């Protein structure tokens, strides 16, 4: 069981971001993340593992400092061996928040998966540390991770590739760059394989601030698509062949914008 699935009142926020978040003119999402982490005195660990660009971590470190955070540090987990680095582990142990950058989520899962670092992030989140991830970092947050897939609106058996994620929660499956990259079909496909979870499709510059009681608040300039398969009455996934469309009956859909809310326990959505 994921540590943060124990309904512990002290669990930190889980904050998946759809990618391409505004960083300079009105960094509303990052400002909110920093605020819940404690403001200027917050201690933020930045994990740029998903990115192949050498300056990704440093750029976020500079950005957080420009916004006003006094303590922000890049944790360059480039290999599984790095995930046992005592200095990095100690920094996470004392952090108020961890930020996972974008890139390739398989770089995250194959580097961090099963390591002391992944275990520590789960324990710290369960104890109150906040965890945010943008783009690939957002996809990596839940137990069931979308590793890749095809564009399009109609689900099909071969439309998505799944892999184990970080495991902060098993209640959600997250997809990012959602509207911009036409990923409705692949999130539906992922949910057809895992109909116990709720799907969260994040537009760019849009975040889901998920509290300890799994209440989602939308922050940012885009929308979030909530796909609720809890009342699914029929799925043809079991007999569909590669490339064939899949029939799903009874799926509920919500589109939420800034201020909108959704709670996983009650399965209720509200505009604000």
Q: What one-character DSSP code corresponds to residue 272?
A: -
Which residues of the chain are modeled with pLDDT < 50? Answer: 1, 4, 6
User: How does pLDDT run across 1-34, given as a tens digit for each residue?
Assistant: 455 454 567 999 999 999 999 999 999 999 999 9
135 classed as catalytic:
yes
Phi first, then psi: give them for residue 145, nearest 5 degrees.
Answer: -105, 135
The pLDDT of residue 1: 43
Tokens of 257: 């914008």
Tokens of 220: 């940012």
Tokens of 101: 């950058």
Q: What is the dihedral of CA 175, 181, 183, 186, to 10 degrees?
A: -90
User: How does pLDDT run across 182-199, given as a tens digit for each residue?
Assistant: 999 999 999 999 999 999
Contact assessment for residue 22 and residue 205, using Cβ atoms and an 8 Å cutoff: yes
Q: Which residue among 135, 156, 217, 254 is the active-site one?
A: 135
Q: Which residue among 95, 177, 217, 254 is the active-site one?
A: 177
The pLDDT of residue 182: 98
Q: All domains of the chain, ordered by start, with CATH?
A: 3-270 (3.40.50.880)
Between the alpha carbon of residue 141 and those of residues 153, 160, 165, 252, the distances in Å are 24, 17, 6, 23
- Sequence-ordered list of residues with C-beta below 8 angstroms from that of 30, at least 6 positions apart, any chain: 21, 23, 63, 64, 67
How many Cβ atoms from other residues are within 10 Å of residue 148's Cβ? 14
247 classed as catalytic:
no
Q: Which residue among 130, 204, 235, 254 is the active-site one?
A: 204
């Amino acid at each position: 069981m994921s540590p943060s699935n124990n309904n512990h009142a002290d669990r930190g926020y889980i904050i998946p971001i759809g990618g391409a978040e505004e960083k300079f003119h009105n960094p509303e999402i990052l400002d909110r993340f920093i605020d819940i982490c404690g403001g200027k005195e917050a201690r933020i660990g930045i994990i740029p593992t998903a990115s192949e660009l050498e300056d990704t971590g440093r750029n976020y470190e500079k950005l957080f400092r420009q916004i006003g955070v006094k303590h922000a540090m890049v944790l360059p987990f480039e290999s599984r061996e790095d995930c046992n680095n005592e200095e990095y582990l100690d920094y996470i142990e004392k952090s108020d928040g961890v930020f996972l950058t974008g890139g390739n989520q398989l770089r995250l899962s194959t580097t961090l998966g099963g390591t002391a670092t992944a275990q520590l992030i789960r324990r710290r989140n369960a104890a109150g540390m906040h965890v945010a991830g943008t783009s690939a970092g957002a996809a990596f947050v839940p137990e069931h991770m979308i590793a890749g897939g095809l564009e399009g609106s109609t689900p099909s058996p071969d439309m998505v590739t799944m892999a184990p994620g970080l495991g902060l929660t098993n209640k959600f499956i997250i997809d990012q760059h959602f509207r911009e990259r036409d990923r409705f079909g692949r999130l539906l496909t992922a949910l057809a394989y895992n109909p116990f979870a709720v799907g969260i499709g994040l537009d760019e510059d849009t975040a889901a601030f998920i509290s300890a009681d799994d209440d989602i608040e939308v922050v940012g300039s885009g929308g979030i698509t909530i796909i609720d398969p809890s009342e699914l009455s029929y799925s043809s996934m079991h007999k569909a062949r590669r490339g064939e469309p899949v029939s799903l009956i009874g799926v509920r859909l919500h589109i939420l914008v800034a201020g909108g809310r959704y709670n996983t326990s009650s399965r209720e959505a509200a505009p604000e």
